[in-house]
Amino acid sequence: MRKPLFLLLFVLAVSRAAAEDLEGPGTLPVEINATGRTTYENGLATAHDNVSIRFGDTDIYSDYAQYNTAKRTVFLKGHVRIYRGISLYLAEQATYNLDTKAINADSMRSGTFPYLISGKTVNSASDQEYLVKNGTFTTDDAAQPDFHMNAQSVRIYENDRVIFKSVTFYIGQIPVFWWPYLYQSLDRSFSYSIAPAYLSSWGFSLLGQVTFPIGDNITSTVKLDYRTRRGPAIGFDSEIRYGKGDSSVAKIISYYLQDQNPNLNRTSLPREGTPTGRYRFSIQDRTRITDDIEATVDITKLSDGFLLQDFFPAEFRINPEPDNVVAVTKTSPWYTLTVDARFQVNTFFDTTERLPEIALDITRHPLFNGPIFYDGETSVGELSRNFAAGSLFQDYSALRIDSFHQLTYPNTYFGWLAIVPRVGFRETYYSETRNLSLSPLPINPDPSAPEFPLADPTTMPALHTAGGVFRSVFNAGIEGSFKISQAWDDVQTRALGLDGLRHIIQPFVDFSYVSSPNVDPAAILQFDRVQPSTKLNPIDFPQYTSIDALDNWSIARIGVRNRLQTRRDDLTVSWLELETFVDVNFNNPFEKTDYSNVFNKLTFTPVPWATLVIDSQVPLLAKGFTEVDTNINFKVTANTVITLGHRYLNNNPFFDNSSLFTFGGYYRIDDNWGFGILEQYEAATNIFEQQRFSVYRDLTSWVASLGAIIRNNGGVKEYGVLLTFTLKAFPKLGLDLNFDPAGTNQTQ
């Protein structure tokens, strides 16, 4: 649980003209003003009624004051207010030393927004250290704060740390937790949290972490977790900033647990052989060597392929198979030069190793400042495709030298027609190829199935190699487009957010031709290869990166863009956009149909608070599959937000049929209460894959949420309870009780 820091309250001090000046330390005068009687006897200056004292950056107000010129102290009584710089102290009685700035006071209050502290007595030997007895701490600036902490003593070391002894945490007037000792660094990087949680795959859990600084540029975190169905776990993370302007950063992430149920998982997929000793160790580094040279390191070692899925679900969704690469990159406006090494650290994942690879990418630029543009890329690498341990497939490797060069001639004709012809050449050397006579291609067991991208011909148990080869590839193409538009200034419809309307139509065509006459593409070992996807591959270079899967093709991508624009808030905005295109396959090795699916991308924003996006592809002209993704976001009322989504996929040879409905919403009941919901329903399997329900309560300084989660992963159900407190006043430094079953800093 992170505890907030103690700081001092900022108040603007206003002083009046001095009535009497006394010499203080150095050359600074002490100015005393009062509406009542003032005297000066035996080194004591006494003032009554509406007393104001000014000394340097300090202003003091009280009902009574007595200044001892020998001791340099001021005794104050009655409505005492001491303003020093940005600091304020309020008390009924206090003694203040003008030299050391030490304060001894009764019933004092002090703080800086949004932190407030008070105590029965406050004593200090200097302005750097304070001792508060029977102190109260809060960030809620109210007569009856929603939360506060009472401590027997609070020792404050200015700009360093705060130490509480015998401290009780209250919500309202109800005590909820007690600590015998509590340490809080005033460094912004110091925090700690304790997160109770429950997941059916974890059992009841307690997740804790402490984040603390080690020097000015090193921040570390120690994690201590316990799960009743899994056992204890420990982790250590660290972030180091270094180099010029702290522009370089290194991160270390480690975690270890002795899992009592390693084969327990929250999916329907079988799992066996998972070790009990489970761990992760990651090093991530980005070093700025010079302004144009950067080195990166990204290495992750895992005990097994399920660790991230079980204990770090947020990371697993984004990067289920972490990469392992070391690279140095030099950039300039003309080119990018990269030397990288990629290797297989985790043998349970398929990996394409590059040990190493050097790549030079030249950006498109005019040749000799003329109308013809050049771009290209050249790479040399020792490549190896390593399958997961226990795989039936055979690993393979080769030295690959690849060089690509392309010329383009963009121009506009008749003032409206944009034409960009291009021509390119690629030469690639492979030290090893596939022997097709000894390793025949697999036969499709279902001739009636749709013909989509070819299966990787090298992923066969019987792989025989045949020596080196040079492969020559020639590519050419032409892009063309033009725009026509029509405006209607008299179209005015407030309900649809229209203030004038302009329609822009842009037909376009992109023809791509590739020829590789001297080598059968099936003989090429596949490193940079085509991956299964529902989207079309690029047909331009260098955007097309699956260079080992290059084959003869002739493809024309034909489409039209429609854009409706209107005026809104003195700006031109897109009211509706629709892009439609289709591939005409004169010769396409990855799709044996004459035409691809027809693609449509629709974005409709009639008003700022409502958006409709439909991304679809349907087989109108030939056989294929259907995919329609729909998302609707709109704010029904000032207090209601609703999101609707639907993903439909049918007859795709690589992915299961799906009809996934998603519904989310938030309703603000009143100033203090809100309700949120998220539902995911898969109609193809008749399963509610996920259900979340949350209730939010505004506690003035805090926002509390209580929620429940239910997941169904292919018939395996998982349950969880979430309770979260967030401090609104200063979330990064606040008391953060994060009861999230995903774990501390592991949002599910």
Q: Give the separation between CA 212 and CA 186, rounded to whole angstroms.
A: 10
Q: Give the separation between CA 495 and CA 491, rounded to whole angstroms.
A: 12
What sign results for the dihedral spanned by CA atoms 449, 453, 457, 459? negative
| Listed range (23-32, 373-382, 723-732) with the worst mean pLDDT | 723-732
- Return the amino acid letter for 168: T
Q: Which of 355, 352, 358 is nearest to 329 (CA)?
A: 358
Burial pattern 215-245, b for ≥16 Cβ within 10 A else e, equals eeeebbbebebbbeebbebebebebbeeeee
Model confidence at 24, pLDDT cuts 50, 70, 90, reads: very low
Q: Which of 645 and 96 is assigned the larger pLDDT?
A: 645
Q: Which residues pair with 138 in a beta bridge?
A: 116
Model confidence at 156, pLDDT cuts 50, 70, 90, reads: confident
What single string gives the DSSP state of each residue in 516-583? Answer: --SS-GGGS--SS-----SSPPP-STTT---GGG---EEEEEEEEEEEEEEEETTEEEEEEEEEEEEE
Q: What is the pLDDT of residue 160?
A: 66
| Listed range (30-44, 560-574, 596-610, 678-692) with the worst mean pLDDT | 30-44
Q: Which of 39, 50, 34, 30 is nearest to 99 (CA)?
A: 30
Tens-place pLDDT, residues 424-477: 999 999 999 988 777 655 544 444 444 444 445 444 556 788 888 999 999 999
In sequence order, what are the residues at sequence separation of 6 or more whose Cβ sits closer than 8 angstroms to the Cβ of residue 202?
227, 228, 229, 230, 741
Q: Which of 726, 723, 722 is nearest to 711 (CA)?
A: 722
Tens-place pLDDT, residues 511-531: 999 998 888 888 889 899 888
> CATH code for 20-186?
2.60.450.10
According to DSSP, residue 304 is labeled S
Q: What are phi and psi of 549, to 5 degrees?
A: -100, 10
Tens-place pLDDT, residues 218-229: 888 889 999 999
CB atoms within 10 A of CB 646: 18
Residue 124 has pLDDT above 80, yes or no: no
According to DSSP, residue 435 is labeled -
Q: Give the separation between CA 599 and CA 172, rounded to whole angstroms.
A: 58
Tens-place pLDDT, residues 655-708: 889 999 999 999 998 888 888 899 999 998 888 888 888 888 876 666 677 778
Residue 175 has pLDDT above 50, yes or no: yes
Domain parsing of the chain, residue ranges: 20-186
What single string gives the DSSP state of each residue in 314-349? Answer: HHHHH-SS---EEEEEEE-SSEEEEEEEE----TTS
Mean pLDDT of 603-630: 91
Tens-place pLDDT, residues 353-381: 999 999 999 999 999 989 999 999 999 99
Q: Which of 139 and 2 is assigned the larger pLDDT?
A: 139
In sequence order, what are the residues at sequence separation of 6 or more whose Cβ sits closer than 8 angstroms to the Cβ of residue 35?
49, 50
Which tokens in the block code for residue 525? 């070992």
In sequence order, what are the residues at sequence separation of 6 or more whose Cβ sits closer than 8 angstroms to the Cβ of residue 49?
34, 35, 36, 37, 63, 64
Q: What is the pLDDT of residue 102?
A: 81
What single string gives the DSSP state of each residue in 117-171? Answer: EEEEEEEEEETTEEEEEEEEEES--SSS-SEEEEEEEEEEETTTEEEEEEEEEEE
Model confidence at 42, pLDDT cuts 50, 70, 90, reads: confident
**What is the rounded average pLDDT for all residues in the chain?**
82
Whether the Cβ atoms of residue 578 and residue 600 lie closer than 8 Å to each other: yes
Model confidence at 9, pLDDT cuts 50, 70, 90, reads: very low
Tens-place pLDDT, residues 386-419: 998 888 888 899 999 999 999 999 999 999 999 9
Tens-place pLDDT, residues 539-558: 999 999 999 989 899 999 99
Q: What is the pLDDT of residue 506?
A: 96
Tell me if residue 734 falls in helix, strand or coil: coil
Radius of gyration of the chain from its Cα atoms, rounded to whole angstroms: 35
The share of the chain scoring above pLDDT 70, in percent, equals: 84
Q: Give the separation between CA 290 and CA 134, rounded to whole angstroms.
A: 55
Q: Give the separation between CA 432 and CA 591, rounded to whole angstroms.
A: 27
Mean pLDDT of 305-329: 90
The share of the chain scoring above pLDDT 90, in percent, equals: 40
Distances (CA, A) of 481 to 419, 506, 511, 514: 7, 7, 12, 22
Tens-place pLDDT, residues 273-312: 889 999 999 999 999 999 999 999 999 999 999 999 889 8
Distances (CA, A) of 582 to 213, 484, 513, 607: 57, 21, 16, 30
Q: What is the pLDDT of residue 28?
A: 60
Q: What is the pLDDT of residue 275?
A: 92
What percent of the chain is helix, strand and coil (3-state, nearest 5)? 5, 60, 35
Residue 643 has pLDDT above 90, yes or no: yes
Question: If you count DSSP H runs as helices and E runs as strands, how many of each does the chain have, helices first?
Answer: 2, 42
Q: Which of 182, 236, 245 is nearest to 214 (CA)?
A: 236
Q: Which of 58 and 547 is assigned the larger pLDDT?
A: 547
Q: What is the pLDDT of residue 352?
A: 93
Model confidence at 731, pLDDT cuts 50, 70, 90, reads: very low
Asked, as a colleague might, if the bond just before 356 is cis with ω within 30 of 0, I would say yes
